Amino acid sequence: MVLFWLFHRFTFWSRQGVPHESLIKSAYTRYTRPLHIADRDTYTKLGRVFGISFRLFEGFRPCLMIGEPEYIRKVLVQEFDKFPNHRIFYDGDQISGKSLVALENDEWKCVRKIMTSLFSTGNLKKMKPSIDRCTSSLIEKLRKQIEISSTVDMKKMMGAYSLDVLASTAFGIECLDSDKTNDVATIVSDFFGHHISIKSIILLWFPFLIKHLNLYVFQYEILTYLKSIVQKIFDRSRLLKSQTNSNENQVDSVNKNFVTLLDEAQIKIKDKELDNETKEKFVIDNGVLLVIAGYDTTATTLSLIIYCLAIFPEHQQKIVDELESLYLQLERTELTIEEINSLDYLNAVIHEVQRYFPVVPRIERRAGRDCTLGTIKLLKDSLVAIPSYAINHDPSFFKNPDQFDPTRFLNNNSEQQTIIPDVFLPFAAGPRSCIGKRLAMLEIKICLISLLTHYRFSVSLETKIPLDYHIGQPVSSPKDVKVIVTPRTRLLKQG
Ligand code: HEM
């Protein structure tokens, strides 16, 4: 009976005529190569739609990989009701609990609506001065750092910066002291675990056992530590709010941050308002999620942009020229959000780095019921995954995909092929796309403008070309990003 069931599952793709990887090959690649490289190899070999039977089991449910724009649009947008949730996290309720990423259906809708208002245009405007302050402190920190050594690991530097921005924008706490941010940044970067362990193998192959063996998806100690940090941040934020409220003149000085938003929100699940204890869990779990989802993605993107600018100085110079001409035209170096967004070349470079090195190399959705995608049958809880890295390096979507060429993202470049929106997905798309996209883009732009106004980046003997990646992580995270940083005098004189 069991053998029959296993046979039925393992022949799931061949019975439908969907190309798929052999069991052994699937298992082997998953544990020997970074996720994005493994996916690209299979995509190149099997085509834009293929099945995986063993590499990504969810309760022995086969996974379908899709690179076909029509299918991507269906899964993320048009048929969202069939694929509304992320994969199941069996983790002893340590993070998934009540966090947006793990919530499903109506609970997810309710919390998503509340959290979306955190990133509204009005709120982003209020967040800008905090980002500016964190950026000034980064510039100062770099100045001190290069007095010691001109080769800097930008991954570490950007990690502390990104955490600082999150603490001040989302939680309303002004720049954390740098020892604390470094400490938390190092801890969070270890969050997903950097090596393949028996635990991660059990987790992916036999997720239902995790519950019984009391194992956790993420590092238990790190989560507990993060929760305690978030709790402290919240306590400080609440105290700040009560002090501000008692002083009428200061009422406007605190922007709507995540804590105040969730504290004030009426969270109703199935028409019942939450009791205080469950609501507190919502607040803490989602606070931890914001740190996890927003910290590493933004820090890694920023460090990869610096890496590309060091390797391709001609693109660094083009951004500097664009910036300089805007400063000259405005006769000032302080820019509004609109002026920042008018920097087309800067924007094109960010997009090209996101294409070349997508930090989320695979976007996943889970089927809410037995259903079909086009003509392909899927079982309830099957994963459908979009291999972003493989798609971004597919020559039929991006001309010369292995060439770093920001001009492909310039609107006025008639030589380039038009980019199909369904295949360029740095923040995913549809109702479950990245909630922090606008904050991330603003933070990245403000940071780069300031960095390039003050410093020049170049390759050092320690710069790894190509990059060295951790294996077995859900985000594409290079081990380090070391470059030479030297002060830039020309733009400083303008400023
Ligand atoms: C460059 C930086 C970032 C990148 C590339 C990025 C990318 C993504 C992607 C691709 C997803 C969708 C995952 C999926 O559908 O499977 C996502 C979801 C999410 N992101 Fe981001 N993200 C970034 C920054 C941020 C920031 C700054 C925050 C918050 C402060 C954030 C919070 C979230 C949350 C909460 C979700 C889950 C949304 C939901 O399930 O409804 N992200 N992100």
Mean pLDDT of the region 196-223: 55
State percent of the chain over pLDDT 70.
76
Mean pLDDT computed over 46-74: 83
Higher pLDDT, 252 or 333: 333
Mean pLDDT of the residues in the chain: 82
pLDDT at 390: 96
The C-alpha atoms of residue 392 and residue 426 are separated, in whole angstroms, by 10
Handedness of CA 205, 206, 208, 212 (dihedral sign): negative
Asked if residue 354 lies in contact with residue 406, where contact means CB atoms within 8 angstroms, the answer is no
Q: Identify which has the larger pLDDT, 250 or 12.
A: 12
Check whether 63 is labelled as a binding-site residue. Answer: no
Average pLDDT rounded to a whole number, residues 213-239:
68
**pLDDT at residue 207 in the model:** 55
Q: How far is the CA of 23 from the centre of ligand 1 (A)?
A: 31
**Is the pLDDT assigned to residue 132 strictly greater than 60?**
yes
Kindly compute the dihedral angle of the four CA atoms of residues 219, 222, 226, 229, in this order, to the nearest 10 degrees: 170
- The answer, yes or no, to whether residue 399 has pLDDT greater than 90, is yes
What structural domains does the chain harbor? Answer: 97-197+208-311+456-495 (1.10.630.10)
The reply to whether ligand 1 has any atom less than 6 angstroms from the CB of 285 is no
Q: What is the mean pLDDT of residues 116-143?
A: 91
Nearest CA to ligand 1 atom 2: 298
Ligand 1 centroid–CA 441 distance in Å is 12
Is 379 a residue whose pLDDT tops 60?
Answer: yes
pLDDT(247) > 70: no
Amino acid at 373: L
Which ligand 1 atom minimizes the distance to the CA of 441? 1
Q: Residue 25: pLDDT band by 50, 70, 90 thresholds?
A: low
Instruction: Quote the CA–CA distance of 444 and 453 in Å, as a whole number.
Output: 14
Pocket test of ligand 1: the residue of 165, 297, 442, 476 to mutate, having most ligand atoms within 8 Å of its CB, is 297
Range with the largest mean pLDDT of 238-242, 251-255, 309-313: 309-313
Question: Residues 347-359: pLDDT tens digits?
Answer: 999 999 999 999 9
What is the pLDDT at residue 18? Answer: 93
Burial of 3 (0-12, 13-18, 19+ CB in 10 A): exposed
